[in-house]
Amino acid sequence: DPLCRSGVWRFHELLPFATPDKVVTIGEGQTPLMPSDGVASFVGMKPGQLFLEYEGMNPSGSFKDNGMTAAFTHAHTIGAKRAACASTGNTSASLALYCCVSKLMQAVIFIGSGKISYGKLSQALDYGALTIQITGDFDDAMQRVREVSSRMGIYLVNSVNPFRLEGQKTIMLRVLESLNWEVPDWIVVPGGNLGNSSAFAKAFHELKELGLIDRIPRLAIINAKGADTLFELYENRGLRWNAGVPNSEVVDNYYAELDAAHRRADTIASAIEINRPVNLFKCIRGLECMDGVVREVTDQQILDAKAQVGASGLGCEPASAASVAGAKLLREEGVIDAGERVVCILTGHQLKDPTATVAYHTSDQKEFDRVLGSRGVSRAAFANR
Ligand code: F0G
């Protein structure tokens, strides 16, 4: 049964929108949860207490396949012939792959010019997606694809699509399964468009309601410092769900400030270079459901953490390492206890963005300057480990 070979669809009872004959799967979600004592020691945890959920092992190399199989299945169910997304590169790689393998739809992709790593761009091109580069960044591309897809009746697969999130719930089901259904203390995840964090909270909420778990872990969402809308609004400006009524004035004011200052998102972690996360309110609800915290980490902290994940033998792309950098920060603050059990989500494969990795490790000063020179990053921390 092909459904059993999918780490998403073997949980199909918890994704009840799909009928089995319409499921489109390419074997996504067969990802391991790995303990890492090297990373545990870097973070300041006791051995055996830190786990890495290695989503880079998915067919397109990132966690996106968990959501794409679900959105794609829904698109197929309703007879869509074209599907679109804006992307910093992983959503587009995933969409392009599902279109390519299934031959059911044409992929239409909007990317911000220069805002995507070559590894990810090459996937979209190789898989034959119609790839449109626009002047601007992800936030601009997102706005554009929303307009175009609603005007032209194209199926939108960004994480505004609720079926995407249904698929991404299964990342938490697999984490729990790997831990023999013993609930960990913390889930730590990078925050970009905030789809994962929203999906994770929904997963735990549902599992508790079903009586399959007796407590919900705490959630830590980690922003890059140059793209820290959630951190600013949740930790500094007190944005809360307000018993069901989102406080949109706080958000509107903040976005007006960003516009007035012409401030665009800017971080080496290009996957999460996003200032206007589309799942902001869902995520705020999720943070409340999981007694969550939000932190921001610098490019330096991200790259140092990434090097440690590499040294552990797994490797990940910069955005993914924000989770490890965030866990370390929360340990230093004493928010996470050394003896607690922590799961960091490694969202994307190491090979997705080799430019940042090579620049960080190289002794070629020119290459270092070209990629990292404007970012206030140094290599000392890793070299001295
Ligand atoms: N990590 C990686 C590797 C990503 O590609 C993304 C998002 C995130 C984290 C953030 O996840 O949106 O659920 O908070 N990438 C999107 C894309 C924006 O277009 O590929 P989130």
Give the pLDDT confidence of 214-259 residue by residue, as tens digits: 999 999 999 999 999 999 999 999 999 875 566 788 999 999 999 9
Confidence (pLDDT) at 3: 86
Q: If you measure from the C-alpha of residue 238 to the centroid of ligand 1, how many angstroms do you get, rounded to a whole number?
A: 24
C-alpha closest to that of 156 among 15, 278, 26 = 278
Give the helix/strand (H/E) hosting 29: none
- Write out the residue limits of the CATH 3.40.50.1100 domain(s) in the chain: 33-60+165-367, 63-156
Pocket lined around ligand 1, Cβ cut-off 6 Å: 62, 64, 87-91, 159, 190-196, 271-272, 317, 319-320, 347-348
Q: If you measure from the C-alpha of residue 121 to the centroid of ligand 1, how many angstroms do you get, rounded to a whole number?
A: 15
User: Which of 272, 283, 320, 352 maximizes ligand 1 atoms within 8 Å of its Cβ, making it the mutation to test the pocket?
Assistant: 272
Cβ(321)–Cβ(248) below 8 Å: no
Which has more confidence, 243 or 360? 360
Which residue's alpha carbon is nearest to atom 4 within ligand 1?
271
Q: Which atom of ligand 1 is nearest to the CA of 94?
A: 20
DSSP characters for 299-310?
HHHHHHHHHHHH
Q: If you measure from the C-alpha of residue 369 to the centroid of ligand 1, how many angstroms do you get, rounded to a whole number?
A: 26
Asked if this assembly's ipTM is beyond 0.90, the reply is yes
Q: If you measure from the C-alpha of residue 63 to the centroid of ligand 1, how many angstroms do you get, rounded to a whole number?
A: 8
CATH 3.50.50.60 for the 63-156 domain, yes or no: no
Residue 133 has pLDDT above 60, yes or no: yes
Task: Work out whether strand 50-54 and strand 33-35 pair parallel, antiparallel, or are unpaired.
Answer: antiparallel
The mean pLDDT of 292-312, rounded to a whole number, is: 97
State both tokens at 24.
Answer: 């489109």
Confidence (pLDDT) at 368: 92
C-alpha closest to that of 96 among 126, 63, 75 = 126
Q: Which residue has the tokens 């399964």?
A: 177
Q: Which atom of ligand 1 is nearest to the CA of 86?
A: 19
pLDDT range class, residue 2, cuts 50, 70, 90: confident
**How far is residue 7's CA from residue 74's CA, in Å, rounded to a whole number?**
17
Q: Which residue has the tokens 């694809």?
A: 145
C-alpha closest to that of 321 among 364, 372, 270 = 270
Residue 168 has pLDDT above 80, yes or no: yes
Q: What is the CA radius of gyration of the chain?
A: 19
The mean pLDDT of 170-176, rounded to a whole number, is: 98
CATH of domain 33-60+165-367: 3.40.50.1100
**How do residues 26-75 score in pLDDT, each as one tens digit?**
999 999 999 999 999 999 999 999 999 999 999 999 999 999 999 999 99
Cβ(214)–Cβ(186) below 8 Å: no
Average pLDDT, the chain: 95
State both tokens at 129.
Answer: 């997606």
**How do residues 63-107 score in pLDDT, each as one tens digit?**
999 999 999 999 999 999 999 999 999 999 999 999 999 999 999
Q: Model pTM greater than 0.80?
A: yes
State both tokens at 232.
Answer: 């600013």
Q: Which atom of ligand 1 is nearest to the CA of 199?
A: 13
User: Which of 55, 64, 268 maximizes ligand 1 atoms within 8 Å of its Cβ, making it the mutation to test the pocket?
Assistant: 64
